Amino acid sequence: MSDQDHKIPRTVPIQSATFSNPINAEIRRAAATGIYDIRGGGAKRRVPHFDDLLFLGASVSRYPLEGYRERCDTSVTLGTRFAKNPIKLDIPITIAGMSFGALSAQAKEALGRGASAAGTSTTTGDGGMTPEERGHSSKLVYQYLPSRYGMNPDDLRKADAIEIVVGQGAKPGGGGMLLGQKISDRVAEMRTLPKGIDQRSACRHPDWTGPDDLEIKILELREITGWRVPIYVKVGGTRPYFDTALAVKAGADVVVLDGMQGGTAATQDVFIEHVGLPTLACIRPAVRALQDLGLHREVQLVVSGGIRTGADVAKALALGADAVAIGTAALVALGDNDPKWEAEYQKLGTTTGAYDDWHEGLDPAGITTQDPELAKRLDPVEGGRRLRNYLKVMTLEAQTIARACGHNHLHNLEPEDLCALTMEAAAMAQVPLAGTDWYPGKPGSGY
């Protein structure tokens, strides 16, 4: 190298990977405002996910089923352990709990319509049960939350199942937020709180400090409902083995496990991105807990957090879940983040696909709002039809995969049908890295 070469000026400015433009923008925003960023949705950064798994399909050692002639069943029954009336669903995809308050009454109705038409259940949320939702949901799960907002013993008795919410994947250990803009007269009345004032939901139940209290609460709810309906326990993905085991020991019929990609109506961005386990990492430990207790398939496992396609459904079931729940994807099916609202997203300083200020109540699609004019934009009948179609497509996709793997029921999918594209996914899902018979931590592998 000559002396001359050393003098060549650098021509390509290099951006820092650590201090990237989005990070610097957030530092400037924080410096200007002094407040932390709140948003809706789930983790946006890439973490190991179902996309990192592939199905192997049938070959010489297994034969596939014929799509047009051979059946591949999709039904699932939730709550077979203690409830007199377990919930029988036609498909293993349920609609997750989303609050009235976060969502408009029209959106709740559309979710009920779509879920019922597809033969599955929907779920209430913080803020209670609306008559529209109950009326249009053939199977409605009623959430019993730390905040107790909208909690009503009469509604408990109207439910087809009860879900005790301990935590959510987007914010395990944290509570919800509903800003004053969204506290309309109706929302305020249902929550017995003042109109227009920011509401924070509690991060833990007021009357318990541990698993023994959970057991007492489950018994209390069973007595109120005459042991008729299943009791689910929902936890955010943090310590899935122990949380599943403790929920089961406390008497749960169903465990709902929500990973860190799971959506929320509103919480701090730092919480969404930095607390909790990826959904993929939650499933095998939870299944192992159920197997260790001899209750896998008797206590059902519902997995949520970032489920978007029939392939995601099939992968979650293959890893041992009995069903999945969807939140964000259902809202997208209804019309959330639709490009037809791009001009309005731009006025809000965002763009299609990135709109997540659901707490502000200004949703152009009329879904995450209490503004009557915006809410009118969502036709619950059309929304329900779109959701039904989407659920149907996801089910058909999962069936296509199951048949290709030689299975006549979605529940016959198994870890042996899968391989992983990355070491991380192999370790988390405990399935072999593609082209090998090895995954990190495999018993006997020396690691």
Ligand X SMILES: Cc1cc2nc3c(=O)[nH]c(=O)nc-3n(C[C@H](O)[C@H](O)[C@H](O)COP(=O)(O)O)c2cc1C
Q: How far is the CB of 242 from ligand X (least distance, A)?
A: 20
Longest dimension (CA), the chain: 88
Question: Looking at 48, 97, 335, 366, which residue binds ligand X (CB under 6 A)?
Answer: 97
Nearer CB in complex with ligand X: 289/329: 329
Among the listed ranges 72-80, 161-169, 242-250, 392-400, the one in contact with ligand X (CB under 6 A) is 161-169
Q: Mask: binding to ligand X, 120-139, rule CB under 6 A, as x and -?
A: -----xx-------------
Nearer CB in complex with ligand X: 266/419: 266
Residue 88 forms beta bridges with which residues? Answer: 77
| Whole-number Å distance between alpha carbons of 171 and 440 | 28
Question: Looking at 120, 168, 199, 225, which residue binds ligand X (CB under 6 A)?
Answer: 168
Is 244 an interacting residue with respect to ligand X (CB under 6 A)?
A: no
Please count the helices (runs of H) and the strands (runs of E) in the chain.
16, 16
3-state secondary structure of 323: strand
How far is residue 403 CA from its own chain's centroid? 26
Is 258 an interacting residue with respect to ligand X (CB under 6 A)?
A: yes
Count the alpha carbons within 13 Å of 447 in the hemisphere toward its beta carbon: 7
Is 234 an interacting residue with respect to ligand X (CB under 6 A)?
A: yes
Amino acid at 21: N
Site for ligand X in 42-61 (CB under 6 A): 42
| CA-closest candidate to residue 95, choices 293, 410, 307 | 307
Is 304 an interacting residue with respect to ligand X (CB under 6 A)?
A: yes
Q: Mask: binding to ligand X, 362-381, rule CB under 6 A, as x and -?
A: ------x-------------
CA geometry: angle 87, 92, 98, nearest 5 deg: 80
Is 265 an interacting residue with respect to ligand X (CB under 6 A)?
A: yes
Question: Looking at 112, 114, 172, 263, which residue binds ligand X (CB under 6 A)?
Answer: 263
Is 399 an interacting residue with respect to ligand X (CB under 6 A)?
A: no
Q: Under a CB-based contact definition with an 8 Å cutoff, are residues 319 and 429 in contact?
A: yes
Separation in Å, CA 324 to CA 93, 146, 159, 364, 421: 5, 23, 20, 28, 23
Is 310 an interacting residue with respect to ligand X (CB under 6 A)?
A: no
Is 285 an interacting residue with respect to ligand X (CB under 6 A)?
A: no
Structure tokens at 70: 């051979």
Among the listed ranges 98-106, 225-233, 393-401, 427-435, the one in contact with ligand X (CB under 6 A) is 98-106
Nearer CB in complex with ligand X: 72/137: 137
Is 264 an interacting residue with respect to ligand X (CB under 6 A)?
A: yes
Q: Under a CB-based contact definition with an 8 Å cutoff, are residues 275 and 171 in contact?
A: yes
Amino acid at 254: V
Structure tokens at 210: 């541990």
Question: Looking at 76, 78, 165, 282, which residue binds ligand X (CB under 6 A)?
Answer: 165
User: Residue 283 phi/psi, 5° resolution?
Assistant: -70, -50
Task: Report how many residues bind ligand X under the rule CB under 6 A.
Answer: 31
3-state secondary structure of 31: helix
Structure tokens at 438: 């090895």
Nearer CB in complex with ligand X: 99/199: 99
Contact set with ligand X (CB under 6 A): 40, 42, 96-99, 102-103, 125-126, 143, 165, 168-169, 234, 258, 261-265, 304-307, 326-329, 358, 368
